[in-house]
Amino acid sequence: MGGSWRDMKSLTNQVVSGRWFMVFASFLIMSVAGATYMFGLYSNEIKTSLGYDQTTLNLLSFFKDVGANVGVLSGLINEVTPPWVVLVIGAVMNFFGYFMIWLSVKGTISPTHVWQMCLYIFLGANSQSFANTGALVTCVKNFPESRGVVLGLLKGFLGLSGAIMTQIYLAIYGDNNPKSLILLIGWLPAVISFAFVRTIKLMKVIRHSNELKVFCNFLYISLSLAAFLMIIIIVENQFRGMDNRVGYSLSATTVVVLLFLPLTVVFKEEIIMWKKKIQSLQPYSSSSPPQLEITVEKPIAPIVLLPPSSPSPSPPPKPVSCCANICRLPDRGEDYTILQALFSMDMLIIFIATTCGIGGTLTAIDNLGQIGLSLGYPARSTTTFVSLVSIWNYLGRVVAGFLSEYFLKKYKFPRTLMLTLVLFISCAGHLLIAFGVPNGLYFASVIIGFCFGAVWPLLLAIISELFGLKYYATLYNFGTSASPVGLYILNVRLAGHLYDKEARKQLAALGKTREVGKGLNCTGVVCYKLSFIIITAVTLFGCAVSFILVLRTRKFYQSDIYRKFREAAAAAETEMALSSNGKGGEISSSTVSKTEKEEEVNGDGRRIE
């Protein structure tokens, strides 16, 4: 009985502290960390409750995306603290920011100034960068040879989070209650982060022979989740407006079950590793004596001592200035310092391409609600648009992550070229919005959602490959900080300004003036036509800039960029094997697969008793 209890305790510890359970915990954290993608669901509630015009609402959207994408602080904190500290800070910021927005929209605290709302939504959205840094960056460092796959999966769950949280919101609060949605966004991510905060940690890199197979099993489960969400969204759209709390509860329960289904894969893999560990500690049976290895030493050549020569004085090393160190860039793929990476031409190109490409897709996503209303779509279609963007956002991330990893390893196809192609395809979605094609907003939601999702694993993998993993937490967040710059220019200064300008023209044509405290609304294709034609041109410019990076890195991607990680993993496994031989403790997974146990022998080959 005591032995069974000890075995159960040992197995539980193996599962909870294992690297695969850490991946599962990261999935859950990311699946509720995408509140910024749900802005279209509650933006109109903020607009009407607080009496904002479209320019003011787009200003809030800008601060939201600044918070979500400028995570330099979280990166710097992650450099000097364990990941759980970053996750705790993010959870507190998430709850405080969205809880204050909920109180403001509800009217509990008033009046709320625009700068206060900008601060609240910045803090709430900035928690997403803390979740990304704590969970995603840690997973990439634990699985460096599968970084494209890891980024695709984790960013995929982040992309699905909008649809996941929508189903949970409908089950708990019902339909047409956007104020409660803001409250849900505040407390749910914080609860999940606190529940798994000690699970996310850095581990010694060990190569698993079936690593890609395990990630593929996770992919199949996540695809099932995405397919279910797509089906349930279509069904719910047909019965929108009906009191169907039972149906919402069933769909939310199914979503939660699918979210926890990866645990089956986790248990399977950790049990296999636990059994190997137990077998490695069991004594040999007499029927299978250990195989002893006899080493024949080569004779040592005689050492000839030479008279000491007078050492020539070596010149003292010349001091290297900080600026000279920044300009002396290491080879691509080596570990850059933070300043070396920031001042490199490659990072400048990435920044410009991201500003032009992601800024345009974010503008479309954040304005989906207003775009739909201006083009005459029913109000209930807004939820469909947001959910479509969320699901195809997920598909873009996992497809780009897995395919780019496959093409890179098999055909040396550079990720930079795939990034350029994705930016080019997104122009089709912008043109569908610009010309108001009948039912085109559904197709635009799919295209823009897919391309927006596909950009992120490609961009983040490129940064890790070009500049190394030593300071990846900080460089990762510097790379994503470019998108708010494009969002401010294209959303606030362009789309919001032109929208309000057309709305005032329409009011003037009717002989009316804007009422104080009322929102400013525009109807017709003209509201966003010029904006998205300009956005299309800017995105094409981003494609051209991105292609320059393709030309600069083509030789790098033709080389074996993961070689040093394989060598480091092999060295770590050898060190663990030598340590286990000396202590009789645990041995690495690669050693376990080859032998049950290796024991120390003395000089004549006999076993030491």
CA distance linking residue 299 with residue 316, whole number of Å? 41
Q: Residue 317: is its pLDDT beyond 80?
A: no
Please, what is the Cα angle at 209 between 206 and 213, to 5 degrees?
115
pLDDT digits (tens, 9 = 90+) for 273-309: 777 777 766 554 444 444 444 444 445 445 444 454 4
Radius of gyration of the chain (CA): 28
Lowest mean pLDDT of 349-363, 434-448, 586-600, name the range: 586-600
Sign for the CA dihedral angle at 458, 459, 464, 470 comes to negative
pLDDT for position 325: 62
pLDDT for position 271: 82
3-state secondary structure of 434: helix
pLDDT digits (tens, 9 = 90+) for 143-182: 887 888 888 898 888 878 888 888 898 888 877 778 888 8
Lowest mean pLDDT of 37-41, 223-227, 465-469, 564-568, name the range: 564-568
pLDDT for position 244: 73
Q: Mean per-residue pLDDT for 84-97?
A: 93
Share of the chain above pLDDT 70, in %: 79
pLDDT for position 305: 47
pLDDT digits (tens, 9 = 90+) for 408-460: 888 889 999 999 999 999 999 999 999 999 889 989 999 999 999 899 889 98
Share of the chain above pLDDT 90, in %: 25
Buried b (16+ CB within 10 A) or exposed e, 522-533: beeeebbbebbe
pLDDT for position 297: 46
pLDDT digits (tens, 9 = 90+) for 497-546: 898 889 888 888 877 766 655 667 889 999 999 999 999 999 999 999 99
Of residues 398, 370, 556, the one with CA closest to residue 467: 556
User: DSSP letter at 36?
Assistant: G
Q: Which of 546 and 327 is assigned the larger pLDDT?
A: 546
pLDDT for position 315: 52
Mean pLDDT over the full length of the chain? 80
- Give the position of tokens 């907003």: 441
Q: For residues 268 and 14, is the Cβ–Cβ distance under 8 A?
A: no
Tally of CA atoms within 13 A in the half-sphere of 40 that contains its CB: 29
Lowest mean pLDDT of 18-22, 35-39, 52-56, 316-320, name the range: 316-320
Q: Mean per-residue pLDDT for 324-344?
A: 81
Tokens of 373: 């209303």
On the 0-12 / 13-18 / 19+ scale of CB atoms within 10 A, 248 is: buried
Tokens of 506: 């329409």
Q: Which of 176 and 116 is assigned the larger pLDDT?
A: 116
Q: Residue 591: is its pLDDT beyond 50?
A: no
> pTM, whole model, 2 decimals?
0.72
Q: Which of 152 and 208 is assigned the larger pLDDT?
A: 152
pLDDT for position 562: 72
Q: For residues 469 and 138, is the Cβ–Cβ distance under 8 A?
A: no
pLDDT for position 277: 72
Q: Mean per-residue pLDDT for 367-379?
A: 85
pLDDT for position 581: 55
Confidence class for position 241, pLDDT limits 50, 70, 90: low
* Axis crossing angle, helix 262-281 with helix 2-16, rounded to the nearest 10: 120
